Amino acid sequence: MRIQSAAPAAPAASTSVPIDVRLMRSGANALLALVLLAGLVVLGARLARSPWFNLREIHVEGEVAHNTAESVRQHVTPLLTGSYLTMDLAQARTAFESVPWVRRAEVRRIWPHDLVVRIEEHRPVAYWAREDTDHLLVNTHGELFEVNLGDVEDANLPTLAGPRGTSLQVMTMWQTLGPVLAPLHQRVERVQLTDRGSWRVVLDRGTVLELGRGESDRIVARTQRFVQSVGQLTARFDHRAIEYADLRHSESYALKLTGMGTTPVAVRTGKGH
C-alpha cells in the first residue's frame, strides 16, 4: 500500500493590521464619540430650555405668621432664574430668605414643574437698640434681623443693647434675670451690656439697676441678694419706689428711693441672704 505524504500547508494569511489603519479607526471612533456627545449636549440644552420644563407652581409650607403663600411667591418669582432643570437651588434659597420675616428656607424640586419651599419665620423676643439707626429685632435664636417695626404685634417687647456680636449673650441674660427680678413686681424693660462689660437693667417703672461685671452666675447671685433684702429696707420708708440701685459691690449696694438721697446698704452674703 502506497502512502502519499500530505503536501505542506500554505502559510496562513497575515492578520496583523497596519498601524496607520488602526490609528485611522481609533480616530474615527473618537470623532464619532465626540459627535454623539455634542449631540447629547445640544439635545439636553434644548430640552432644558423647553417650555415644558418651565416652573409652574411654588408650594409654600411651614408656619408663616407675617407672610402668605401668595406674598412669598410675588416677592421671589422675579428673583428666580432658569427652568425646573437648570435652576440653582442655593440661589433660590437665598431669594426666599430675602423675604421679610423669613429666617430660613429649604427648597426642593417636585417633578416635573414645581418647587416646594419650607419656611421658618423669625419669632421676635426683643428690640435691639442701635445709636446710629432704627432698632433691629432679636429672634428666639439670639439673632438680629430687620423688618418694618410697625409689623411687630407685641408692644411689650423689651429692649436689649450691647456691643456688636453680643445679641445672644444679652438675650440669655435677659431670660435669666427675668425670674430673679420677678419678686419686685416689675417687668424688665431694658438689658444692656456696656462696652466695658458691665450690665445695666431698667425696669418698667424706671428703676435702674447697675449689676456690674462678671460671669453670669455672679451677676445672678448679686441680683438675688439684692431682691431678697431690698423689700425689708423699702418697708421702713413706706415702700417708696426704687429709683436706682448700684449692685457693683460684693457686700453692699447703694440705693436711691423716690424723694430720698442715695443710701448705702450693707447686705449679708451668706446662704439665704
pLDDT digits (tens, 9 = 90+) for 110-155: 988 899 999 999 999 999 998 777 789 999 999 999 999 889 988 8
pLDDT of residue 1 exceeding 50, the answer is no
User: Which of the residue ranges 5-9, 53-57, 242-246, 249-253 has the most confident prediction, judged by mean pLDDT?
Assistant: 242-246
In angstroms and rounded to an integer, the radius of gyration of the C-alpha atoms of the chain is 38
- Chain-centroid distance, C-alpha 252: 41
Q: 181-213, pLDDT tens digit by residue?
A: 999 999 999 999 999 999 999 999 999 999 999
pLDDT of residue 21: 67
Query: Helix or strand or coil: residue 226?
Result: helix
Mean pLDDT of 67-83: 92
Confidence bin at 252 (pLDDT 50/70/90)? confident
Q: In the structure grid, which three cell numbers stand for residue 262, read together?
A: 442715695
Tell me the pLDDT of the chain averaged across its residues.
85
Rounded Cα distance, 254 and 272, in Å: 20
Confidence bin at 50 (pLDDT 50/70/90)? low
Rounded Cα distance, 24 and 45, in Å: 31
Where do the domains of the chain lie, and which CATH numbers do they carry?
54-121 (3.10.20.310), 124-266 (3.40.50.11690)
| More confidently predicted of 258 and 40 | 258
Name the percent of the chain lying above pLDDT 90: 59
Q: 23-36, pLDDT tens digit by residue?
A: 777 777 777 777 77
| More confidently predicted of 179 and 86 | 179
Contacts of 268 (CB under 8 A, 6+ apart): 229, 251
